[in-house]
Amino acid sequence: MFRYLSILLRQPRPSRFLLSRLFPRLGFHPVLDYFGVKIRLGKSKLSQSLYAEGTEQRVEDARVIAESLLPGDVFVDVGANIGALSCLGARKVGEKGICVAIEAHPRAFCELLQNIQMNRLHVVALMSAIGDKKGFVRFSDGSADDQNKVDAAGHCGGALSVYMTTLDSLLPEIIGGRRVKLLKIDVEGYEYFVLKGAAKILDRVDKVYFEISQRMLMENGVAPRQLLDLLISRGFSISCPDGAPLDIDSATFLETRNLVGARIK
C-alpha cells in the first residue's frame, strides 16, 4: 500500500493519475482530445498516461505527422498501440490516402479499433508483429502495454504467441505501387528487424520516423549504429525530429529517443 501511495504522490497530477486508473475499472471511459482526434480512456497505459499527464508529452509525435503528410499520402504505422498516431495520420491523408495501422498485442489492438471507429476514419488495421521473417513468435504481455514487444530471447514470462510477417509481404497488396510518405516504427528494440524485412518496400519510402534505444536494441543483439547504418545505406539521412542534424559518431542512445530518416533526393 505504501508503494502505491509513493507512486501516486510522485505524479505531477495525482488526482488525474488516480482517476485514469479508477474510471476504466468502473466502466467509465471519458474521451480525450488528442490534437484534434478522439482517444478513449481505456485500460491501456498509453491512454491513461494521456489522461493523467496531458498531451504535452506527445507534441513531437503530432508535429512529425502534421509536417510529413498531405491529403492522398500513404502512412504506415508499425507498433500502432491504441492508434493515437494512426488516427492523426488517417485524418491527414484523408479518404484518397491510405493509413495502415499494425499492432501485435490483442489488448492494444482492441482499443486501436475502438479509436478508429469512434473517429470514423478509413484505416487498414492489422493485428500482427512485424519483423524479417514469417511465423509465430513470443510477444510479451506486461501490464505496461505500450512497452510490450517481440520476446525473441524468451526473457518474458507469460508471453503470448502472435503471428509475425514482413512489410515486404504485407504492404504491396495494400498500397499497390504507391510510395509510402511516412513509415513510423515503434517496436521496443525490434526496429532493425522491421527494416530488414522491408528490403524491397524501403525503396518506396520517403521518410522513416523511428524510436531508438541502446538498451532495447542490445536485448536483440543489435547495436544502435547497425540500425542507423542500415538506413544510411538505403539512401536516408538521419536527423532529430526538429530537423537538427545528428552527429552519428558521437551520439549515444542510453535514453530512448526518436529520430527521422529522410530520403536523400
**What b/e readout covers 120-144, taking b as 16+ CB neighbours within 10 angstroms?**
ebebbbbbbbbbbeeeebbbbbeee
Let me know if residue 119 belongs to a domain: yes
- Residue 154, pLDDT score: 53
Let me know if residue 116 belongs to a domain: yes
The Cβ of residue 7 has, within 10 Å, a number of other Cβ atoms equal to 11
Per-residue pLDDT tens listing for the chain (265 residues) = 566 666 666 777 788 888 898 899 999 999 999 999 999 999 898 999 999 988 887 899 999 999 999 999 999 999 999 999 999 999 999 999 999 999 999 999 999 999 999 999 999 999 999 999 999 999 988 877 778 889 876 555 558 999 999 999 999 999 999 999 999 999 999 999 999 999 999 999 999 999 999 999 999 999 999 999 999 999 999 999 999 989 888 888 999 999 999 999 8
CATH number of domain containing 170: 3.40.50.150
Q: Are strands 182-185 and 207-212 parallel, antiparallel or unpaired?
A: parallel
The residue range of the domain holding 221 is 58-263
Let me know if residue 160 belongs to a domain: yes
Q: Which of 61, 13, 60, 22 is nearest to 41 (CA)?
A: 22
Per-position DSSP letters for 158-213, written without gaps between them: T-EEEEEE-HHHHHHHHHTT--BSEEEE--TT-HHHHHHTTTTGGGGBSEEEEEE-
Q: Which of 75, 125, 133 is nearest to 104 (CA)?
A: 125
Let me know if residue 2 belongs to a domain: no
Let me know if residue 170 belongs to a domain: yes
The Cβ of residue 231 has, within 10 Å, a number of other Cβ atoms equal to 23
Per-position DSSP letters for 132-156, written without gaps between them: SS-EEEEE---SSGGG--B-TT---
Number of structural domains in the chain:
1
Let me know if residue 26 belongs to a domain: no
**Hey, what long-range contacts does 253-257 have (CB within 8 A, 24 or more apart)?**
253/212, 253/213, 253/214, 253/217, 253/224, 254/214, 254/215, 255/213, 256/211, 256/212, 256/213, 256/216, 257/211, 257/212, 257/213
Model-level pTM?
Answer: 0.94
- Residue 29, pLDDT score: 94
Let me know if residue 47 belongs to a domain: no
Query: What cell was used for 176?
Result: 499497390
- Residue 15, pLDDT score: 85
Let me know if residue 28 belongs to a domain: no
